[in-house]
Amino acid sequence: MSFLLDTNICSAHLRRTTIFTHKFIQYAGRLHLPTIVLGELYAWAYSRDNPSDLLKLIENELIEDVNILPFDEFAAFEFGKIRGSFIRQGIVSALWILRLASIALANEFDFDKHIILRIFAISQICGWKDWLIP
């Protein structure tokens, strides 16, 4: 089983939250980071007066431990399906969140709990497992 990580999980890991550190070790090789989330993490770093420490953590503690996934044509296809369905149903959701869901669907990944909580309707489209449960 592989997992697509979101910004909250990655930032908690970078803050050295113990449960996340253990889970990163437990699921080594099966954690995937979308480029969308990587961009958010870089924005977090560059929003600081001195981004260098956080940039080092991102590059040395995170990127080395995960596989990077782009928003590619397969994800774009899934995005179109989800977004179109949401538009027809009158559901409004942040586009970046839908892009994360699209990457997960295109690569057949399980969602982490935080993404599902923010994209309630996606849980109806695909299954998910809570990777934080031991």
pLDDT of res. 47 = 95
Please identify which residue in the block is written with the tokens 């260098």: 52
pLDDT of res. 111 = 56
pLDDT of res. 123 = 39
Give the sign of the dihedral formed by CA 53, CA 70, CA 32, CA 115. positive
pLDDT of res. 112 = 52
Give Dmax over CA atoms of the chain in angstroms: 45
Which pTM was predicted? 0.71
pLDDT of res. 53 = 94
pLDDT of res. 74 = 93
pLDDT of res. 121 = 40
Cα separations in angstroms, 94 against 19, 66, 69 = 28, 25, 20
Residue by residue, pLDDT tens for the chain (134 residues) are 777 788 888 888 888 767 777 788 888 888 889 998 999 999 999 999 999 999 999 999 899 889 999 999 999 998 898 888 888 888 777 777 788 888 888 887 755 544 544 444 443 444 444 433 33
CA 22, chain centre distance (Å)? 18
